[in-house]
C-alpha cells in the first residue's frame, strides 16, 4: 500500500532527524498546527462557468485577505516557541501567488487592497517568524497539490502537509 510506505518513510526521516534533547530524554514531543486558509474553496471547484469561477475566486481571496495570515503567524510562532516541539507538523500550508495578465494600477488586479494580502507563502512567513525568534526548523517533507477547476484553470499550488524537525539550539 502506497500510504503505508509513505508513512514508514516519514517515520524513518523523523527518527533520523530528532533533536539531541529528544534522544537524550528518550521522548519525542510532536505538535500539529492547522494554518487555516481563511476561505472555503469548494465553491470555486464547483464553478461551472467563467463568471461563477471569477466571483467565487474573488470571494475566497477576500476571505483569505481578511484572515491576515502574516499577523496570525506571529501568534502561532509564540505558541510554537513556548511548546518547543521536536516535530512540528503543519496542515493547510498554502502558497498563493498572483500575476496580472496585463498592466494594472495599484488599486486593480493582484494589487487590489481587498485581495492583495491573500498572496503569500505560509511556510516562508512562518519560517521567517520562527527564525526571528531564534528557533530553527528544517523541512523534511512536503506534499504539493495542484487544484484544477472544471475550467482547467489552476488556482494554487498548496503545500498541504509539512512536517518540520527542530535543529538545536532552541
Residue with cell 491573500: 118
pLDDT in tens, the chain (170 residues): 445 565 555 555 555 555 555 556 678 888 988 888 889 888 988 888 888 888 888 899 999 999 999 999 999 999 999 998 888 888 888 888 888 877 777 777 888 889 999 999 998 999 999 999 998 888 887 777 665 444 444 444 333 334 444 434 43
For residues 93 and 33, what is the distance between their CA atoms, to the nearest angstrom? 10
CA-angle at 73, arms to 67 and 76, nearest 5°: 115
For residues 106 and 113, what is the distance between their CA atoms, to the nearest angstrom? 9
**pLDDT value at residue 8:** 57
C-beta atoms surrounding 123 within 10 Å: 18
Residue with cell 463568471: 51
For residues 61 and 120, what is the distance between their CA atoms, to the nearest angstrom? 11
Q: Could you check whether the bond before residue 169 is cis, i.e. omega within 30 degrees of 0?
A: yes
Residue with cell 498541504: 160
121 bridge partner residues: 95
**DSSP 8-state secondary structure symbol assigned to residue 122:** H
pTM: 0.68
**pLDDT value at residue 166:** 41
Amino acid at each position: 500500500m502506497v500510504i503505508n510506505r509513505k508513512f514508514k518513510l516519514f517515520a524513518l526521516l523523523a527518527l533520523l532527524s530528532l533533536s539531541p534533547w529528544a534522544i537524550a530524554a528518550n521522548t519525542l514531543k510532536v505538535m500539529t498546527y492547522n494554518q487555516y486558509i481563511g476561505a472555503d474553496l469548494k465553491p470555486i471547484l464547483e464553478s461551472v462557468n467563467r463568471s461563477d469561477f471569477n466571483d467565487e475566486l474573488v470571494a475566497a481571496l477576500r476571505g483569505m485577505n481578511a484572515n491576515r495570515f502574516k499577523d496570525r503567524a506571529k501568534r502561532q510562532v509564540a505558541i510554537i516557541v513556548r511548546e518547543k516541539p521536536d516535530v512540528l507538523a503543519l496542515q493547510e500550508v498554502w502558497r498563493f501567488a498572483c500575476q496580472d495578465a496585463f498592466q494594472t494600477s495599484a488599486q486593480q488586479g493582484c494589487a487590489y487592497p481587498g485581495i492583495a494580502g491573500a498572496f503569500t507563502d505560509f511556510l516562508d512567513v512562518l519560517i521567517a517568524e520562527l527564525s526571528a525568534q531564534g528557533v530553527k526548523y528544517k523541512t523534511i517533507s512536503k506534499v504539493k497539490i495542484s487544484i484544477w477547476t472544471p475550467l482547467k484553470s489552476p488556482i494554487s499550488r498548496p503545500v498541504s502537509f509539512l512536517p518540520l524537525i527542530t535543529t538545536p539550539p532552541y
